Structure 1
Amino acid sequence: MGHRFTVAIVEDNYWVGKLLESYCQQCGLHVISIATDGEQFLQMYDQLLPDIMLVDIGLAGSLDGITMVESLRKAGYQQKVIMVSGTTNIDHILTSFHDLGSLYFLSKPVMLPKFQAAVRKAIAEVQLERSLQLQEAPSVKTTWITVKNQKSQLPISEESILFIEKEDKRLTKIHLMNGAQMESSTNLTDILSQSSPLIFSPFKGFLINMRHVVSYAKESSFPTSRRFLIHLNHTPVKIPLSRSLQKEFGRLLLQMNVNA
């Protein structure tokens, strides 16, 4: 196959993981990771950046394979995914194909001929994208923020967040670049503690992602107001900026523009 394409296996059954590793070796692929936990795999993903991922739907820990791949897609990663599972749940199968852009769904027990067909398709797509120079690996490390969503712990890439607002004492609403909104019971202080300095609190009850700031100006609708309003990409919503934080916010924004 020429170039040895790299593969990461995310599978919580030891023997299935070893079988998939053996199949990969027979296909000339280089296995760079075998993980059993989706959250741990996300934390080390930037160091791996595999060409292909073999992902089981049911995983150890609180994060299933579909949610894990959704998190990677929201972060902008488009590596090829082959879903592997013993599930007969048609909703899981449809989700893996339509929402995640999976190349193949392999049912357990996985047979070598079907595995080889899936790998050939994945490699063909990787080679095509490379030849057209349509895919570039992210150049910066992704910061993952884990929030409580109903009964699950959900990792979200910091880069995909536009802003976060406090709804009431128990809930926050997270606004994402793709227009999606998500309610979480994780408070703003806990989110801020997991974030980089680019997540900034401009006003009580709000966090914004400085990466998406377009501009800011003094609030004009109320002549006596001492607040400023922040304009962000991807949303018409304007976020309030406290006058006492205006200088700090301006310095951070200027520093980002100088380093850009």
Structure 2
Amino acid sequence: MSFLVTAAIVEDNQWAGTMLESYCERCGVNVVCVASDGQAFLQQYDSCKPDILFVDIRLQGELDGISMVQAIREAGGRPKVIMVSGTTNIDDVLTSFHDLGSLYFLSKPVLFPKFQTALEKAKTEIEMERSVQASQAPPATWITVKHQKLELPISEDSILYIEKEDKRLTAIHLVNGDCVEASTNLSDILLQASPLLFSPFKGFLVNMRHVASYVKERGFPTSRRFLIHFKHSTVKVPLSRNLQKEFAKLLQELNI
């Protein structure tokens, strides 16, 4: 299956976590969060909202993997859960399946073929759910821009983000990797768009449908910005600190 999904890994064994992350990369899955502590991950969950959650049953801190997933479920989160553990306790295994609705239980050390089988099962369920949602979705929004003296219609769904390059040109980056240069202003584009096209920073518009997460900008101690991560690209777009709460609320509403 070629569609893209996001994943988070909650594993307190660094070697095992690195291995799971490398497996995800081999399968084209975008890892949006890696954590070793259940409580710490709960605090990050709303900002990453992964499609798939790989969880070790035994974790550092107050929460084990089962309790952590139960807390996510109670808060309304519905990621596909794949439990990973070296435990031989059958009660833990049964709890992970019956109480949490786990898709799979992977025993350590996790071999790649078994990982791939579990991942494909999760992706099959995600694809089915997305197909149902797509069939119930409202008609697509089309945005018309000026491109080389022509009127060019672009489906809003196909837009990843838009950046103002200079006074005359606007770069429209599409999910498929293409880029369309237009002479239409961001304000004129917003007039045609749905509320899901959001301006997180001066000179940028992002399509909230394709946002995976956002994190505090690193490398600059005085930075007051966040960086937006997408499901379909490694490109990162800035998010103003003043708009962070509004952005987080919209992202949460979209993922409920």
TM-score by length of 2: 0.51
Note the residue ranges of structure 2 that are not aligned, 5 or more in a row: 138-256
Q: Which residue of 1 aligns with 2:179?
A: none
Deviation at 1:121, TM superposition (A): 0.2
Q: Which amino acid in structure 2 is aligned with residue 7 of structure 1?
A: A
Deviation at 1:4, TM superposition (A): 2.2
Q: Which amino acid in structure 1 is aligned with residue 127 of structure 2?
A: Q
Q: Which residue of 2 aligns with 1:53?
A: 53
Whole-Å separation in 2 of the counterparts to 1:79 and 1:126: 9
Note the residue ranges of structure 1 that are not aligned, 5 or more in a row: 137-260
Whole-Å separation in 1 of the counterparts to 2:77 and 2:59: 20
Q: Which residue of 2 aligns with 1:103?
A: 103
By relative contact order (CA 8 Å, sep 6+), the higher-ranking structure is 2
TM alignment of 1:27-176, pairs within 5 A: 27-133=27-133
Q: What is the alpha-carbon root mean square deviation over aligned residues?
A: 1.7
Deviation at 1:3, TM superposition (A): 2.7
Larger Rg: 1
Whole-Å separation in 1 of the counterparts to 2:130 and 2:15: 33
Aligned residues: 136
Deviation at 1:76, TM superposition (A): 1.4
Q: Which residue of 1 aligns with 2:156?
A: none
Specify the SS of the correspondent of 1:114.
helix
Q: Which amino acid in structure 2 is aligned with residue 122 of structure 1?
A: A
Q: Which residue of 1 aligns with 2:14?
A: 14
Whole-Å separation in 1 of the counterparts to 2:69 and 2:133: 23
Runs of at least 4 residues off by over 4 Å: none
Q: Which amino acid in structure 1 is aligned with residue 60 of structure 2?
A: A
TM-score by length of 1: 0.51
Q: Which residue of 2 aligns with 1:207?
A: none
Q: Deviations over 1:122-146 (max 9, x none)?
A: 000011111112999xxxxxxxxxx
Whole-Å separation in 2 of the counterparts to 1:116 and 1:103: 13
Q: Which amino acid in structure 1 is aligned with residue 54 of structure 2?
A: L
Whole-Å separation in 1 of the counterparts to 2:2 and 2:105: 25
Whole-Å separation in 1 of the counterparts to 2:2 and 2:120: 13
